[in-house]
Structure 1
Amino acid sequence: MTHVMACIDGSHSATGVCDYAAWASQRLGAALCFLHVLDQVQYPQPSDLSGNIGLGSREHLLEELAALDEKRSKLALEQGHHLLEAAKARAIADGVANPQLRQRHGDLVESLAELQQDIRLLVIGRQGETSDNLSQLVGSHLENVIRTLQRPILVSCGEFKAPQSYMFAYDGSATARKGIELIAASPLLKGLPCHLLMVGADTSDAWEQLKSAERVLQDSASAVHLAIRAGEVEPTLHAYQAEHAIDLLAMGAYGHSRIRQFLVGSTTSQLLRSSTGPLLILR
């Protein structure tokens, strides 16, 4: 069975992740699973420290170091357990039946890659536990997760607000067309109005591409609005989103236009940093 899987940690993003995951679980009719990963760098597993102590060191130092590591690991496990139980209680209050809980020790990206056969949609926060401040608004693992995971990813960028509309950044590529087909076939955004926006030259060919995408969405979206805007990708997307009070931005992770360069290049973090609403990244 595939799940909506939500990554939970001790950051301020956790409540938003929990609420968006509960919303997505109910929209998709899919089971919800909360995942907490103990970072192997922050909380290394117990190891043999004898080779790390210099000559002349006393045996009790080894014992004290080992005891400290064991205590840190136990406390981290306990904290993770409490986080997962709190997320479960919150999801149940939101109407989700019997959310599942998983805890792993290791690297987040590697853990998700191993679990992705069980994932229908991943929900993750923009900020992680180790980047929970204004100077590090994008979690250090997030871009690696987006590049690695072959599953749709919903990124929570703030407090939860149930989406009432969405925008798809469309570039006419095969990947973008596949993204439109995925949205049309999924109940996640079904019944919501959609804005299809192209950033580029206003040409007859561009309009034909938009109209082709519109036909795919006709049975899914309550209304489809088409638009072409010139300008730089990031500010143009956000300006249109603000102008029309759009709740959610959806786009493909790969394509063959400036949007592709934008998503897989160094400016990925700029989009995530400046977004005020959730982003749905389609693979």
Structure 2
Amino acid sequence: MKKIISCVDGSALAPSVCQAGAWLSERLSLPLVLLHSIEKEHTGQVNLAGSIGLGANESLLQELADHDAKKSKLLKAHSKALLEELQQSLPELNSPVATLERFGDVNHTLSDIKESIRCYVMGRSGESHGNETHFVGSHIESALRLVDRSMLLTVGEFKKPQSFLLAYDGREQANLAIERLLETKLLADCDCHLVMVGNTSHATKDAFDKELSRLESEFASITPHFVDGGNIADSLLAKQQQLNVDLTVMGAFSHSKVRQFFVGSNTLKLIANSHTSLLVIK
């Protein structure tokens, strides 16, 4: 069975990552797993390769190895305590919330277990940012590139969506995002704002009108919006505020401005300044 994975650490956003994961779990009727990855740079491992040949004292080398093992044990105990605390903070769900501890980079862990993932959740900022939740964690952009699964990104306290902005450009990945929403009915009881930025060709407008007609009966309400020209990130940020939506949804890696957006500097601009959680559908 596929699972929802909430990637947590000791950051201020960890509770919202868990809450967002719980919401996905309930909406999609899938089990939730809280994942804590202990990054390699935090384990303090000492590389002793070649040291013996340099005349190093064997007892000192053994002491260093024992210290490394003890530190790893303490980090694992801390991870377990963190996961248990977050697990207990969640309301009772349809299925028990599982926990998973892994040493190593979180994105590598997600890639290793991707066959079991339906969607994963991350917070915009990491543990090192303290309460400064507008900073973008270094793992976010690499996750979008490397992990071939949909991502829900929280940027503050998570609010169950009542309305959402759906970015549309007429391309394959935008259509895929719509198909996924219709298939899962994840946002079926929400107000949808279908937003097209910049692309004003007749073919794209025809595609937009076709999707608009198809979606009219699928959500609580649907409202079309055309935004002519301008920077895609700035335009979407402005629409977020104007419409006061709870969530922004888009497909990733299409051959258009959205592709440029997700592999360029605009990625960080939207993520760093977003007023809503972001759902990137793959």
Length-normalised TM-score, structure 1:
0.91
Distance in 1 (alpha carbons) for counterparts of 2:219 and 2:52: 64
2:253 alignment partner in structure 1:
254
Distance in 2 (alpha carbons) for counterparts of 1:4 and 1:139: 21
What is the CA-CA distance between 1:267 and the residue it aligns to? 2.3
Which whole-Å deviations, capped at 9, do the CAs of 1:164-191 have from their partners, x for residues lacking one? 1111110000111111111111132121
2:196 alignment partner in structure 1:
198
Pair 174,56 (structure 1): closer, same or farther in 2 beyond 3 Å: closer
1:72 alignment partner in structure 2:
71
What is the CA-CA distance between 1:50 and the residue it aligns to? 5.7
Structure 1, gaps ≥5 residues long:
none
Which whole-Å deviations, capped at 9, do the CAs of 1:119-151 have from their partners, x for residues lacking one? 111111111234547598111111111111221
Given that 1:33 and 1:101 are in contact with CA atoms closer than 8 Å, whether structure 2 keeps it comes out as yes
What is the CA-CA distance between 1:36 and the residue it aligns to? 1.2
Which whole-Å deviations, capped at 9, do the CAs of 1:229-249 have from their partners, x for residues lacking one? 122111110111111111100
Distance in 2 (alpha carbons) for counterparts of 1:44 and 1:149: 27
Which amino acid counterpart does residue 173 of structure 1 have in structure 2?
R
2:111 alignment partner in structure 1:
113
Given that 2:118 and 2:150 are in contact with CA atoms closer than 8 Å, whether structure 1 keeps it comes out as yes
Pair 62,122 (structure 1): closer, same or farther in 2 beyond 3 Å: same
2:48 alignment partner in structure 1:
49
Which amino acid counterpart does residue 68 of structure 1 have in structure 2?
H
1:162 alignment partner in structure 2:
160
1:189 alignment partner in structure 2:
187
2:237 alignment partner in structure 1:
238
Equivalent position SS for 1:240: helix
1:265 alignment partner in structure 2:
264
Matched residue pairs, number?
281
Which amino acid counterpart does residue 145 of structure 1 have in structure 2?
A
Equivalent position SS for 1:162: coil
What is the CA-CA distance between 1:153 and the residue it aligns to? 0.6
Match of residue 210, structure 1, among 208, 211, 217: 208
Distance in 2 (alpha carbons) for counterparts of 1:132 and 1:210: 42
Given that 1:19 and 1:94 are in contact with CA atoms closer than 8 Å, whether structure 2 keeps it comes out as no
1:13 alignment partner in structure 2:
13
Given that 1:127 and 1:139 are in contact with CA atoms closer than 8 Å, whether structure 2 keeps it comes out as yes
Q: Comparing 243-252 with 57-66, which one deviates more in the overlay?
A: 57-66
Pair 67,94 (structure 1): closer, same or farther in 2 beyond 3 Å: same
The answer as to 2:61 corresponding to 1:62 is yes
Which amino acid counterpart does residue 69 of structure 1 have in structure 2?
D
Which whole-Å deviations, capped at 9, do the CAs of 1:157-212 have from their partners, x for residues lacking one? 11111111111110000111111111111132121111111111555544322221
CA RMSD of aligned residues (A): 2.2
Equivalent position SS for 2:194: strand
Q: Comparing 200-209 with 61-70, which one deviates more in the overlay?
A: 200-209
Equivalent position SS for 2:113: helix
1:25 alignment partner in structure 2:
25
Which amino acid counterpart does residue 10 of structure 1 have in structure 2?
G
Which whole-Å deviations, capped at 9, do the CAs of 1:62-118 have from their partners, x for residues lacking one? 133122211211111011101111121122x25453111111112211111111111
Q: Percent identity?
A: 36
1:86 alignment partner in structure 2:
85
Which amino acid counterpart does residue 38 of structure 1 have in structure 2?
I
Equivalent position SS for 1:228: strand
Length-normalised TM-score, structure 2:
0.92
Which amino acid counterpart does residue 140 of structure 1 have in structure 2?
S
